Chain A
């Protein structure tokens, strides 16, 4: 069984500040990890994914995440927040089967203040 915990259902930052969204996972097999972003009235869009290559993964819109096996974490960061980053972010895990059934966290709503 796999699970994801996203610490903080709401995160608020100022424009230009560091963005840090936390994700911890549980998996009995080597995990593949994903971050998706959801804008209002839009579908989920992939930001980045970890598939057992480099542990530091760079994604779209300046986001990156680091896979830390010892901490079972996959936190999402961005050095400088932009107003357009305001959205809901989901961390997801899969792995151990021959296909990608995703298990999602509960999501973190990011608010960016001017």
Chain B
């Protein structure tokens, strides 16, 4: 149980285009999902917290107009990188927090974005 999927697993896009990444909790409901970014040889940095039915909360330094997050249901959150630039190339990982008291996070396999 507690499986989180991401789609696509990798994507290459041209500079100036937008890319949407989906994060789904497959066998549980997640009221809260998190989006992280990982640059090569670095750790994961929290970008934003996504709550179902409300606006996402962005970490300091993350442009909310560039990284659009939508959490329309208890099993799906999307991250759209708008007007992507080469510096947005990174590994994007989502996680979903299960309901209950454990507060454990379940991570998706990640999406590698390359902007040319």
Query: Do A and B interact with each other, yes or no?
Result: no
- A residues neighboring B (CB under 8 Å): none
